[in-house]
Chains A and B, each alone.
Chain A
């Protein structure tokens, strides 16, 4: 991910060194880390793609989705079903996963793009729960709460000449870099500006002649595409899918990643994803009540950095 792809205001002050330090860590770090940490880093990078995809919707367009993990989960299930029940090849599984997740968001987007604010929150929550319910109860297809196991390793499924956690990590990092580059370009594009316009004043957008419904819909679908990409990687990473991928906890954790990291920055949600994966794994090694600790961290962050970590020291948004 190069700096030229990022909005020019992202890398001012302390953000520039932090950004490059993180980039260097992601690229050269893994060979020096234990397998456990490489695994955590892989999780962070996959969830970072997911968090950035929600940022398009939540941070840039101002649509707070509480069901965004559903598309991630649907794509992961699609990969699992295609790979285990139908024994299909790698590219069919990858493209199938992305397409099924995207189609799902395209269909649901038709409904939810009509509502805003708290109503958007509620309807996405409801639809997310419906999909979660489906993953739990459509037992012949999804295996119910046992989930589906036996997804082949990505390296073997794709026929790559190398295998192991580190090669998988670099494949993930490549997917992340490409996704981040596309999203960074998108938010700087003329279309990206219209999304921020919808967030700032939808009625003004309408009176200027924008069909804001269409812009919200496209934002929803685009964010569904990248959530699906993350879902495909997550299925391969775990080799297993279960209903917890798309439950309310997953969606609200995802929401936290974006708000904690700093909405409408793309880099912020990446940091948020990293922070939450880290907290979850490190704290849960010591106590089962890690959610309590996470809650405290979140409250402290809200008080100390209400615009998110990446916006620390920037003027407040009204």
Chain B
């Protein structure tokens, strides 16, 4: 049996007395489409930061494709096949869209240390970048500076950057947040067209989007996994409905 893409074993992250992530167990299989939902402050983004290595886990272990990566830095996890997007867009604002994508393409290529010839001579990298821009509908923006793009286009570029390194596990942190309904739909179409071999873990605040995209859903509440299962089971779950409808939860 192939190892799980991602396996979290009792992972916690405390900030002082606050347990932002509390004993979370989570397994993502290859090619799976999984959503992590939860109300504001549930610890979704912290969980992502712990998985990608921006924030160290206080307890527990994180395994990526069967290897323990708990103590590895973000870039070391990235080269093992994990990529992520950020809830607050993180692009290279003063570079062009093409340069943004070229950087992402060379991240895991030995030519990132090449100093003696211009980027323009690396034809295959440029081809890859162009293909990626086409896939995400960004071709017409290739020579625009990233900071001048509209927010919707920036969000697409954010996803394009994360796919450039051909990851096997993709973490998406609220890719639809702040998008208009039209932009949101085109983003959903892009996400659905992603290579089915790539496992996708999606954080979403909006249940409709989460259920439209994922087969399996994990509900996070106050740092803990409240429930985890097929979307139909989760949507039928009374406690989940209570959390989202705001009624007090029976302890």
**A residues with CB within 8 A of B:** 185-186, 188-194, 196-197, 200-201, 203-212, 218, 315, 317-318
Contact with A along B38-81 (1 / 0, CB 8 A): 00000000000000101000000000000000000111001100
Q: Which of B98-106, B196-204, B209-217, B235-243 contacts A (4 or more CB under 8 A)?
A: B98-106
A189-B92 in contact (CB<8A):
no
Q: When A and B form their complex, which 8 residue pairs have the shortest distance between CB atoms, in order from nearest?
A: A209-B78, A200-B92, A208-B107, A188-B118, A206-B74, A204-B90, A209-B107, A209-B79
In the bound complex, how far is the Cα of B113 from the Cα of A218, in angstroms? 9
Cα–Cα distance between A201 and B89 once the two chains are bound (Å): 11
The reply on B94 being an interface residue by CB < 8 A is yes
Are B73 and A190 interface neighbours, CB within 8 A?
A: no
Q: Are B115 and A185 in contact (CB under 8 A)?
A: yes
Q: Is B112 an interface residue (CB 8 A)?
A: yes
Determine if A204 and B91 form an interchain contact, defined as CB atoms under 8 angstroms apart.
yes
Closest A residue to B145 using CB positions: A315
Query: Do residues B107 and A200 form an inter-chain contact, with CB atoms below 8 A?
Result: no
Contact: A191 with B74, CB < 8 Å? Answer: no
- Chain A residue at smallest Cβ distance from B110: A190
Cβ–Cβ < 8 Å partners of B52 in chain A = 207
In the bound complex, CA of A9 to CA of B91 (Å): 21
B91 touches A190 (CB 8 A): no
A190 touches B112 (CB 8 A): yes
Chain A CB within 10 Å, residue with most, of B108, B119, B161, B162:
B119
Given A190-B113, A204-B92, A207-B162; 18 other pairs, CB 8 A cutoff:
A185-B116, A189-B114, A190-B102, A190-B112, A190-B119, A191-B115, A193-B103, A194-B106, A197-B92, A200-B92, A203-B54, A203-B74, A204-B90, A205-B103, A207-B75, A208-B75, A209-B108, A218-B113
- A186→B112 CA distance, assembly (Å): 12
Q: Please name all residues of chain B whose beta carbon is closer than 8 Å to the beta carbon of A192 when the two chains form the complex.
A: 115, 119
Interface size on B, residues (CB 8 A): 42
Q: A190-B106, A196-B95, A317-B94 are in contact. Are A210 and B115 (CB under 8 A)?
A: no
Residues in B neighbouring A194, C-beta threshold 8 A = 103, 106, 112
From B103, B115, B162, A197 is in contact (CB under 8 Å) with: B103
List chain B residues, Cβ under 8 A from A210. 75, 107, 112
B145 neighbours in A (Cβ, 8 Å)? 315
How many whole Å from A2's CB to the nearest CB in chain B?
Answer: 13
Check A189 against B79 for contact (C-beta < 8 Å): no
A208 to B91, CA, bound (A): 11
Chain B residue nearest to A208 (CB atoms) is B107
Q: Say yes or no: is B83 at the interface (Cβ < 8 Å to chain A).
A: yes
**Contact between B103 and A189 (Cβ–Cβ < 8 Å)?**
no
A81 CA to B143 CA, complexed, in Å: 51
Distance of A223 Cα from B119 Cα, bound (Å): 20
Chain A nearest CB, measured from B213 CB (Å): 21
Chain B residue nearest to A264 (CB atoms) is B94
For B119, what are the chain A residues with a Cβ–Cβ distance below 8 Å? 188-190, 192-193
**Closest-CB distance, A11 to chain B (whole angstroms):** 15
Query: Chain A residue with minimal CB distance to B104?
Result: A208
Residues A200 and B94 in contact, CB atoms below 8 Å apart: yes
Q: What are 8 contact pairs spanning A and B, CB under 8 A?
A: A185-B115, A185-B116, A189-B118, A190-B102, A206-B78, A208-B104, A208-B107, A210-B107
With a CB–CB cut-off of 8 A, which chain A residues contact B122?
190
Residue of B nearest to A191 (CB): B115
Beta-carbon contact of B118 and A203 below 8 Å: no
